[in-house]
Structure 1
């Protein structure tokens, strides 16, 4: 036990030093005026067409940030001033009242890392079991595709003015949808997107609650408490979420969440390396079964999804021009980490690989890892919770209805969401299958279908032939993934109900 405690403390110290080192390097890159380091900064990774975005957007955000104030009888107001937008274009709605503390690229990167390094990562070795060598290719391809759709989604927020400068004229996913559907119905696109987003975010929150109850139950099997009771206990620890008002706080929690995730990965990979004498490439499959392969595709692709959060993150960055390169680095490192983790774990257990890889660990490590995963699940909850409540609050408080803009009403919205996620986590039967069905519809739509469709609609005249082909290919791929996921989920639900 002493050795295990020593190992855990050493691991924490190791990641603490890494975090300090990278923070120092990041600050050096930002502050050093030299030409070489200036070229090494993330700004240099931007495409030529977006070079003007940083300057225009930075001025606007600095102006808005310097003018933010708190009224005696109301919450903070934060308004985006668009100086060069098209006169015929309707001014977008102000950003949500909570978005007053801008975040750095580093903090935005932690939020993206939190979103794409979720609990799904623990299922990647099992995905390799059913997909073989093609699974390794899928991990790399999914990272590239999700990074691409994230960029084109943010590109839809901008339009060129008469001087050829890119100006941010939209703030949210909803604004993009409304701009695409304005000829059909001015608000139809926004309604569809908001409903889809809220469904996806609520289901994500519920998943974290269910996972927390399950992990507590397995960590303390000798305690005579049901899994639903453990879920309620986990829910009590999440009650402070009703007081989260800024993305800055969520970013800090995401940092802790990512560090905990790296600890879990380190523990599993360290154990796998001690079993390197058992590794064999013969464990990889050359032939695959179609249905099992579809399951693997779903696990791999949806482990990279973060598009729902991206417009909010980019809009709250101090330097939005650094967004594209931040997205590149987070997805690159996620791809490397996921490939290495999945490969080492699968080579260790082969055909005995379980759906959640931590179940393969020896019992003395399982408890430690389960507690780390519990911490990760609880720290991951605030990000989708914050995004969902902001969408609902913005929709309800739109207009001049002062009653809906009070801090007490905002508190009521967040509290209602907390209770809804708890009730659904405890009382929905066959939750895993319903989650799979919802994810196949909303996940594929928000990650592949809508970004590519919106990009084609808004930028068609300015896109090259290759860019149009890329968007169309992503749309077709997303449609096929969604269709396959829906078929598999419905088939599973029918089998469950037939057996009842």
Structure 2
């Protein structure tokens, strides 16, 4: 009996030892798998760099904050109007002066195309099953681009487009300031370039901004200044109604002027990069397609109305920036100081957006990005990070000095980057994803929009060659 018990104990001991050995092997194998997967995930994040916008525009659907407050339709409409209205309304009279009646037609056509391509991007968010039920599987422009172009190419393309547009906005803010301040001091010894350099000195402190909260403090001031400026400007033009020169409104134009006008019009309607993000921030039951339609109709009306009234008021004396056409010296000083205040206040929004995006992509942390963090242990900017930020301001100044003409630079940007974002990219994505399910007339319509985009790009190249090469030979 004692022998049997001893054997039983030995048997149990052997079993426990074997179980322990097996469990140890299993744990080691599992630990290796975990370490390998963690290493692969970290490596993949470093290689693919798949983070999206950063703190300003965190559009990654997997990181959506469920408790984030949603926007109402009216709030979203205000954002759309700000995107497509902005500073370009000051150029509206000049756009119609060089474009004539064809400029009015082009404004309506481009507004329609912008609505259509925004709707295409909304449709690209959804997949449809065999029963016709739709489900949202792509939440951002990044997701749509990744679906059509692949992860690396899709993320890189959208990031580059965003940085280019935001950098262009920084340049336009500074150029507008120079265009308005320079006529106030025609005898100044430094000239236009000197004014740009002097005004840019006030922009360098923005390089030390590290929080979006600091940026947001300027928002209310910008809205107040903008509202006062436009109300006062429209009131002034209607006060001159008895002196309107209606007969000076141009009915026709040449091909070069039409190309110049077309680029500026396209630039004024670029909102496609942000429409998907805005859609995901709307409250349930909001109809973004209808909202996009009526906001664009309102914008088209305002641009045409403001342009016509401006030409009726100033005639052939209409300048690229409408406030420079004012003959009342005190009012001219008032507008040309008030508007630069607005441009100065909103310069930091695209500037900080570029900084935030680049920091999230490249300088967030050594374990997640290609370069170490821009911040030290005390959450302060490192010296080399400050130099990089100052270099961005300096690059903006250099571009302003090379292309000092607001209208020309706006036209070039609209005819290239703008046409690519508004015409070519959304239509390509939509056709690539849904052409098998589309009716033939819808496919034909999309191909017409695609062809129109090619024409816009051609007009941009034509304008550039005509102005920068032919006229200088």
Report matched runs for 1:63-142 at 5 Å.
Answer: 94-95=62-63, 102-142=70-110
- Alignment partner of 2:367 out of 365, 389, 401: 401
Residues 400 and 236 of structure 1, relative CA distance in 2, 3 Å threshold: closer
- Structure 2 distance, partners of 1:331, 1:384, is 22
Q: Partner residue of 1:441? A: 416
Name which one, 1 or 2, has greater alpha-carbon Rg. 2
On the 8 A contact 2:70/2:283 being kept in 1, the answer is: yes
TM-aligned CA deviation for residue 400 of structure 1: 9.8
Residues 398 and 271 of structure 1, relative CA distance in 2, 3 Å threshold: closer
- Structure 2 distance, partners of 1:416, 1:463, is 52
TM-aligned CA deviation for residue 434 of structure 1: 6.0
Q: Partner residue of 1:370? A: 336
Q: Secondary structure at the match of 2:443?
A: helix
- Alignment partner of 1:430 out of 389, 402, 421: 402
On the 8 A contact 1:213/1:234 being kept in 2, the answer is: no
On the 8 A contact 1:314/1:320 being kept in 2, the answer is: no
TM-aligned CA deviation for residue 216 of structure 1: 4.6
- Structure 1 distance, partners of 2:66, 2:470, is 46
Give the TM-score of the pair, scaled to structure 2. 0.73
Report matched runs for 1:53-452 at 5 Å.
Answer: 94-95=62-63, 102-160=70-128, 164-182=132-150, 186-218=151-183, 226-236=194-204, 238-239=206-207, 242-244=210-212, 257=222, 260-319=225-284, 321-361=286-326, 362-385=328-351, 387-389=353-355, 391-396=357-362, 401-402=367-368, 408=375, 418-428=389-399, 429-431=401-403, 432=405, 436-452=411-427
- Structure 2 distance, partners of 1:77, 1:365, is 37
Q: Partner residue of 1:469? A: 444
TM-aligned CA deviation for residue 350 of structure 1: 1.6
TM-aligned CA deviation for residue 255 of structure 1: 6.7
- Structure 2 distance, partners of 1:133, 1:216, is 31
Structure 1, gaps ≥5 residues long: 1-74, 81-91
Structure 2, gaps ≥5 residues long: 1-53
- Work out the number of aligned pairs and report it: 407
Residues 116 and 389 of structure 1, relative CA distance in 2, 3 Å threshold: same
Residues 401 and 94 of structure 1, relative CA distance in 2, 3 Å threshold: farther
Q: Secondary structure at the match of 2:375?
A: helix
Q: Secondary structure at the match of 1:167?
A: strand
Residues 380 and 327 of structure 1, relative CA distance in 2, 3 Å threshold: farther
- Structure 1 distance, partners of 2:66, 2:189, is 42
On the 8 A contact 1:78/1:95 being kept in 2, the answer is: no
- Structure 2 distance, partners of 1:140, 1:149, is 14
On the 8 A contact 1:307/1:447 being kept in 2, the answer is: yes
TM-aligned CA deviation for residue 423 of structure 1: 0.8
Give the TM-score of the pair, scaled to structure 1. 0.69
Q: Secondary structure at the match of 2:469?
A: helix
Q: Secondary structure at the match of 2:273?
A: coil
Residues 79 and 345 of structure 1, relative CA distance in 2, 3 Å threshold: closer
- Structure 2 distance, partners of 1:216, 1:237, is 21
TM-aligned CA deviation for residue 304 of structure 1: 1.7
